[in-house]
Structure formats: structure tokens, C-alpha cells
Structure 1
Amino acid sequence: MTQIPEYVDGQLNLAGAESLVAKTVEAVAGAPVDRASSLDLGGIDSAFAIALHMHQPLIPAGGDDTRTADIISNLQWMMWHQDIGDNHNAPTFLWCYKRMGEFIPQLLGEGKRPRVMLEYSGTLLHGLRRMGADDVLDALRGITVGEGRDAVEWLGCPWGHAVAPSTPVQDFRLHVRAWQQHFAALFGTEALARVRGFSPAEMALPNHPDVAYEFVRTLVDCGFTWVLVQEHTVETPDGGPVRTPHLPHRLVCTNSKGETAEIVAVIKTQGSDTKLVAQMQPYYEARGLQPVELAGRRVPPLVTQIADGENGGVMMNEFPGKFHEVVRECSGTRTPMVTATEYLDQLFASGIKPSDLPVLQPVNQHRIWQKVKAGVGPKRLATAIEKLRAEDDRFHVDGGSWTDNISWVRGYDNVLAPMERASSLFHEKVLKKKVSTEDPRYRDALFHLLTAETSCFRYWGQGVWTEYGEELSRRAIERAESVR
């Protein structure tokens, strides 16, 4: 196994090993994950999977003056200021990031069959290292490369928790590649080869045809074989709702040039409520389901949920006991806990092919394709979209996420304009000049660009968070402009 250094001369190593990362994922393309699995789809009625999303942004708060302060983890700032607001939760948050490294070995030692999917943003992983939380990373390493690795599935994500609908498509690809390299540096290339699923930040799926196409292309090109999507961000080709949410689908995206990209989609049902996962609701929902027909075969349905792994009193306090209770109860039954890749590997081994899966597309695209045909080009597509907006002020191509009352574009000009300037300069001053990805200037500029594109600086509205976003964008612009 080739080791990628986590830091190079004090800089986080987010670039420079692109060829090794590409070779790693290409070597396992299309092959099932090498795991010791007792899952037999023919012997169960249904299955369920839970994923834990973990994220902390990086903020310019390591000092009194925002313009000169060190960039630190928001978690570290919370630890320093536990007397403010809800910051007293910081030690519990830190334990939440570590505790699966304790729960999985314990339950395996009892002879049970725990399963969990984990998604940690790159900003969180870097922040943990920089604040000296090596014990957290060591615990995670134990269930990533150790005996518990078959019980844990890591999901890829954008390094800086950037939302796909409003992040420049070329930058989103940089986020995905950066996360892969960072993960490989932490846990090794063999661990990276086992990462097949992708979890978009905020469950935000682009629905603009050209952006959605590039989103799927990026995932496929980066070696991912499936993506987690929120039920209400997709539609059937006739514009209807998802009819079989507990079966995998194909997410098919066509752009204005008529090009098509597709990937397997696992559907997350219902809204983003941490109580659903904290109280292990997917298990109880799955217990009421029976096999359904797919391509002439009877297959067990899969109930899938994702939630923040640390936010909220229920997740912080009730989840540990409930997780242990359900793992102990479901192990060896006809409603087992699984990971999505484990389920998909067994499904395709049974004779089902990806082409047998029902088709989905991003929400609102049916209305677009009624106005204009794929292949007419970006100008005519833009005209059709403007007509739809004029006819219905609720129509949008800002993308969809777990909450439809938030636009990731409208109302954030003061943040988006500096971010777009930073992105433009990075591509003009760094990429077009073909600065080596191993060059310290490249790594420095990339780190600041990806950090500035974190969704938190928009999600939390106006105030200190947008000020953080503006400051990080200023630094990203400064780094890009300094490249000569």
C-alpha cells in the first residue's frame, strides 16, 4: 500500500496524488467490495441502513481580529468558549465523532451484526487533527482498516461541505478529489478503494440539467457507483413522485447538449430529522415491509436514512442506547442492518442489473423537457427556464435538498459574489497556468478556496457566518492572485 502524507511541510495535502487516487478507484471499478458478509437477500424480508453525517466548518476565529485570525475548527472555537450559547455541547460532539469506534468493536465482540455508514467532511477531519483529537481519528481508523471494517461503510462527500447546486461544477470536482486524497492519507488507499457511495452536502441535488449532468459525471469519473438522494429532490421521467422509494433506482441526467450520465441512486426517505436515526426508526419501518418485485424477481426492500451524527439532544443522548438495542434485536433476523453497498453487491450478484432499476431524474426536469428537447444547446435551455420562471414563481433550478424552504443561491449575493471571484481567480491564475498540484502555492490556494465554499456560510443566513464566508473568500482571492 502506497502511503500518501497527510501534511506536506505543514500544509494539508489535498492535491498532488491525483494519479494514485485515480488508479486506486479504477482498479476496483465495477467489482463488489471485498468483505466478509453473511447477507443473503433470499433469506430476508427487508433491510435497513443508517448513515451518520458529521461536519464542522473551518472558521477564521483563532484570534481576536477576523482578518488575521488562524483558521480553526468551529468545534475548537466551541471548546474554547463553552460558556456561550450551546457550546457546552462541544465535548459531547467530540465524543460523537469518536463513539462508533467504540460501539462497533463492542457489538462485534458480542457476536452481533452492527452496520453503519459514515460521512465526515474534510473540514471536520482536518479540524480534528489540528485541535489534537488524535484519539478520535485513531478510533475511526480502528473500524476503517481493522477487524470492524466490514461493519462500516464510508461515504464520499465534497471536502468542504459544498452544496452541489450552487458550487461551480469544476470546483465541486476539486472538492470530491480532495476528499478522496485526504481520506487516503488518513486511512490508506485500500480503505479508499472500498468507498463506493457518495453523500451530497445537505442532500442538495442539482436540478439544472447542465449542472446535474456534471454532478453525476464527476461522481462516475471519481469512481463512485451510487449516490444517496433525498426522496423529494427527484422525480420519475413523467414528472411524478418516486413510487418505490425502498428500491434502488438509476439517476439519469441529460444536459443541454444531449449528453447523458447516470449512476445508481439509493433513496433517503422523509425529511432530515435526527430523531429518525437517533430512535432507529428505519428498523421499525423495515419490519413492516415484505419483498417486492423488481425485474421479475422478489427482492427485499431497503429503508435508508441519514442524519447529523451529533446535533440535537436525542442524537447526543438517546442514540447510543437505541443503537445497541436495535443491533442486538435485529442481528440474525429477517430484517437485518446493512450498508448500502453491501445490499447493492448482493442485489447485483443475484442477477439484477443496474439497467433493470427504475429511472429517476432531478425534480422539475420534466417541465423543462416539455418546453425544450435535450440537445438544443445551453442558450435555448436558458430561454426555456426563464419562461418557466415567468409562468410560475415557485419554479426554480437552484437544486433541491432535505429542506425546500432554503435556496442555496437567492439572498446570498454578499457571500456568493466573493466565492465566485475566488473560484474564477483560482482557475485563471492557478489552473490555466498549469501550476503543479504538488506546488505549495497550489495546495495553499486550493485549501482556501474549498474552505470558503462551505455551505454553513450561507445556511445560517446573515451575521457572523456570512462574515466568516466573506473573509475566507478574501483569503482565497489573495492566495490565487499571489500565484505568478
Structure 2
Amino acid sequence: MNELPEYIDGIPNISGEEKIVLKAARRQDSKELRGDNSRFGKIKSAFSIALHMQQPLIPAGGHDLQSAEIISNLKYMMDHQDIGDNHNAPVFHWCYKRIGEFIPQLVAEGKEPRIMLDYSGELFHGLRQMGCNDVLDSLKNITCNEEYRRCVDWLGCTWGHAVAPSTPVQDYKLHVQAWQHHFAAIFGLDALARVKGFSPAEMAIPNHPDVCYEFIETLKDSGFMWVLVQEHTVENPKTGHGVEQPHIPHRLVAKNSKGETASIIALVKTQGSDTKLVAQMQPYYEAKSLANQELAGHKIPPLVTQIGDGENGGVMMNEFPGKYMEAVRESSGTDTPIMNGTEYLENLFALGITEKDLPEIQPVLQKRIWDRFESGKGPDELARAIAELKKEDDRFHMEGGSWTNNISWVEGYENVLDPMEKVSASFSERMLGRNISTSDPAYRNALFHLLMTQTSCYRYWGQGIWTDYARELCRRTMDIIGTR
């Protein structure tokens, strides 16, 4: 039985019970998270895959942009299957549901399936709004049923698929907490207590020292134990070069301009953004070629970790089911099993390894900052150092790193970012600044609209109708906030 209602006044339950939700999120039952993994000390390697799922909410439920109902992009695709690739909509629907079919089937065969899942809050709401209760019921079964829940490792994310480098710090925290709230309302507080990993939208982590510090502080304060990072978004603090041992856990360390330090465990996703890596189960075949590695005086199995869109592309839509079933059947009970990230880390901790034993990494390009700026000298000195570096090298940037470094989440989108920043400032002034209760219906409605405006899809998919959608949502949000 769920302790929280999923909807309040027609709005997803994304605020109002922060104390209850945070208490659950910070729970740490190591034994349950570790599972019954008596073979961990005998395996030579392991592999892990995550499926990322997202559909934005758009003002497209009607012909007039200013009055159109806000619907899921999946709903729009379903209703307009004659346009472009929209004929894939029914397959997308199955992609969101099908892992809930695969897990019980494999468990019934005596196998040990594992999967990490990353679904945005926007997608949860869109599916429910469309009446896709079969999807959520399927996911709820593998998440809450004691027979299957060990197999599923949910990853926290931003409710509205907001990217960390260009989302205001206070809003990013609202996204994270809104997702936890919404997840708990759907799957229950006990299920939320098992969510210990975090998946940043677009694999984007901030490299500005002050922003990255707040990013890690938000995750740690919200109860997360680890974060998934893209290999080329981080560097060795001593050399500024890439990660030498990507298949062992690291410690992502952030120093800010005030001299404060924050850190969180990081699992490294290798290679690029090709969903075929997950769809064709490449991590399994790579893991089979690896052997134990040395860490803190222990021989540990390396973990090959990958994440990919769980619905996009013909290979993912068509080949993943067979490849996943085949890899799980073949690897179960061997010395290269499939494992989830939290399960793997908890088994490492059981060996006596601690977070402090893990090699350090930091966001990409930061070594160049620390070579000329001493942490603790304040934000003005930091800004001066960054400006000097940009002047010396036009490739130097503080826009963070993501799964694709050929797309800027800032440059060229000023016509979207300016309204977004005004909405954020207005929300901060009229809602947060006036201490409006988070259980107030007006607050929840304003928050719901604010989070929608900040989805990365409004920038990633280019200028045109998508930026029109973004500006329209910003207009509506300003109207809602302005009624206070």
C-alpha cells in the first residue's frame, strides 16, 4: 500500500511531504542492498546496464499553442502516427513496460537478471495521464514484489530531465526532490529507500567548481550514495588526463571557491552515447575479457557499466529483448554475472573497502583552474581565473561535460534560457522567498510548471517548435507564479 497519494488536485505529488520522503531516501539497509551474494569473492568480473527513459511534456493537446493542453510527447506521437517517426509510438509504449515482463520470466527460469532503471518524473506523469496503467503496474511488480525487487536498481534523476550545468542550483535540487516524492507516491517509501544511485540527465555533470560542489551536496543530502558519470567528463586531479581504470569505482571530488570539499562515489560509463552498446549487451562481452584488479589491498572484480536510451533506435527497440535474455541466461551462475551498481558497491563495502579507498577524479578541465587558483580565495577570484583561461584558450569552457560534447546546452539557446532564468528567479522570489508552504496547491502547481520548462529536450532537439514549446511553458509558468 502506498503511503502517499500519487496525485493532489490533478498535479503529480511532487512536494509537501519532504520530511517523510527525505527520511526514507536517507535510509541505509546495507544487508538488503547487498543481497544474498555469497559468490562475490569468487567472480572475476561483472557487468551492469541501465535503461534511460524520457518523454517531455509539451503544450500540444490542441491547435492553439497558448491554450493547448499539456500532454506527453508520447501521447502526441500516438495521436499523429502519420508524421515522421511517430509510428514508433506503440513500440515505445512496450519499451517502457517490457522489462517488467523479462524479469519475472528469467527468475522463473532460475536465472539472476539485473537491470538499472532511470525514468524521469515527466515520463511517469505522461504515462499515467495517457492511461498507460499497464506500464506502471508492470514496473511496480518488479519494484515491490519480494521475488523480483533484488533484480531492479532504480536510479534517481531530475524530475523534468534538467541538465546540471545550466540549471539554477536551487532548481536542480527541486528536480531531485520532486522525483523522489513522485517515485515514493507511485512505488512506496520502502522502494525509495532502495534508490541509492543517481543518473544525471544527458550524463551532464557541471565542471564549474561552485556548481559541481552544490551538485554533489544535493545528491548526498538527498540520500544518494553514488552517481553515474561519463568517462570523458572527468579527469585525474594530478595529471588532468583521463581515467586509467574506468571499471573500478572512483570518488568524484568537488572543491569550491570558499575552500569547501564534497565527494560522492562514481561509477564510470565508458565510451560514447551509442545505444547499441546496451542494446547488444556489449558490457557482458567486454567484462568476460577482464580479470580481478587490485584496490586497497583487495582483489576485486571490475564492473563494466553502460547506460543507453531504452526506447530509441531500431537496435534498442528490436534487438535488445533477445540480446538481454541471452546474456542473462548465459551469465547467470558464472564468474562474470550481471550486477546492479548499488549491489556491487555494497558487496565491495562488505570486503572492508571504504569510499576513502577509491581513486579520486574531478570534473574535466578543473586541473587548469587549480593550477592557478587556490580553493578558498572566493568566487570573485575564481571568476577572474576562469575568464583568464577562456581568454587564453577559446576551447576552455565551464558548461560541463555530457555524453556528447558537440552539443552546447547554453550556446545558441538564449531565446529559451532567458525566459527560463526569469521564471526561475520569479519562482525563487515569490514562492521560496516568501516561504510558501510546499503543500500549498499554488506552490505545487507552480513547481510542476517550473520543472517542465527546464527539460533538456527543449534545447537538444534544436530551434523551432521545441523552443516555441519552451517559451510557451515559461509564459504559463510566469502567469501562475504571478497570481500569488
Same fold (TM over 0.5): yes
Aligned AA (1:459): Y
Q: Trace 1:333-348 onto structure 2 (pairs within 5 A).
A: 333-348=334-349
Q: In 1, are the aligned partners of 2:2 and 2:185 still within 8 Å (CA)?
A: no
Aligned AA (2:462): G
Does residue 246 (structure 1) correspond to residue 225 (structure 2)? The answer is no
1:12 to partner: Cα distance: 1.6
Residue segments in structure 1 that go unaligned for 5+ positions in a row: none
1:304 to partner: Cα distance: 0.1
SS, match of residue 191 in structure 1: helix
SS, match of residue 377 in structure 2: coil
Does residue 88 (structure 1) correspond to residue 116 (structure 2)? The answer is no
Deviations 1:103-157 (A, max 9, x none): 0000000000100000000000000000000000000000000121100100000
1:360 to partner: Cα distance: 0.4
SS, match of residue 371 in structure 1: coil
- Cα distance in 1 for partners of 2:38, 2:314 equals 33
Q: Name the structure 2 match of 1:229.
A: 229
SS, match of residue 304 in structure 2: strand
1:474 to partner: Cα distance: 1.1
1:346 to partner: Cα distance: 0.3
SS, match of residue 156 in structure 2: coil
Q: Name the structure 2 match of 1:256.
A: 257
Does residue 127 (structure 1) correspond to residue 92 (structure 2)? The answer is no
Q: Trace 1:268-283 onto structure 2 (pairs within 5 A).
A: 268-283=269-284
1:36 to partner: Cα distance: 3.8
Does residue 210 (structure 1) correspond to residue 210 (structure 2)? The answer is yes
Greater Cα offset, 155-164 or 34-43:
34-43
Q: Name the structure 1 match of 2:68.
A: 69
Q: In 1, are the aligned partners of 2:33 and 2:342 still within 8 Å (CA)?
A: no
Q: Name the structure 1 match of 2:201.
A: 201
Q: Name the structure 1 match of 2:304.
A: 303
Deviations 1:50-94 (A, max 9, x none): 000000000000111111111000000000000000000000000
Greater Cα offset, 40-49 or 169-178:
40-49
Q: Name the structure 1 match of 2:21.
A: 21
Q: In 2, are the aligned partners of 1:33 and 1:345 still within 8 Å (CA)?
A: no
Q: In 2, are the aligned partners of 1:119 and 1:154 still within 8 Å (CA)?
A: yes
Aligned AA (1:408): W
Q: In 2, are the aligned partners of 1:39 and 1:346 still within 8 Å (CA)?
A: no
1:479 to partner: Cα distance: 1.2
1:35 to partner: Cα distance: 5.7
- Change over 3 Å in CA distance of 1:268–1:459 after alignment to 2: same
TM-score normalised over the length of structure 1: 0.98
- Cα distance in 1 for partners of 2:408, 2:428 equals 26
SS, match of residue 143 in structure 1: helix
Aligned AA (2:24): T
1:9 to partner: Cα distance: 2.0
1:32 to partner: Cα distance: 4.7
1:13 to partner: Cα distance: 1.4
- Cα distance in 1 for partners of 2:460, 2:31 equals 37
- Cα distance in 2 for partners of 1:279, 1:166 equals 33
Q: In 2, are the aligned partners of 1:53 and 1:307 still within 8 Å (CA)?
A: yes
- Cα distance in 2 for partners of 1:143, 1:382 equals 48
Q: Name the structure 2 match of 1:150.
A: 150
Deviations 1:303-342 (A, max 9, x none): 0000000000000000000111111100010000000100
TM-score normalised over the length of structure 2: 0.98
Aligned AA (1:219): L
Q: Name the structure 1 match of 2:428.
A: 427
- Change over 3 Å in CA distance of 1:34–1:49 after alignment to 2: closer
Q: In 2, are the aligned partners of 1:291 and 1:298 still within 8 Å (CA)?
A: yes
Q: Name the structure 2 match of 1:103.
A: 102
SS, match of residue 155 in structure 1: strand
Aligned AA (1:266): L
1:429 to partner: Cα distance: 0.6
Q: Trace 1:322-471 onto structure 2 (pairs within 5 A).
A: 322-471=323-472
Aligned AA (1:107): L
Q: Trace 1:469-480 onto structure 2 (pairs within 5 A).
A: 469-480=470-481
The runs of at least 4 aligned residues of structure 1 exceeding 3 Å deviation read: 30-36
- Cα distance in 1 for partners of 2:348, 2:442 equals 46
Aligned AA (2:325): H
- Cα distance in 1 for partners of 2:116, 2:124 equals 16
How many residues get paired?
A: 482
Residue segments in structure 2 that go unaligned for 5+ positions in a row: none
- Cα distance in 1 for partners of 2:23, 2:41 equals 35
- Cα distance in 1 for partners of 2:9, 2:157 equals 26
Q: In 2, are the aligned partners of 1:122 and 1:179 still within 8 Å (CA)?
A: yes
- Cα distance in 1 for partners of 2:459, 2:66 equals 19
Q: In 2, are the aligned partners of 1:49 and 1:340 still within 8 Å (CA)?
A: yes
SS, match of residue 47 in structure 2: strand
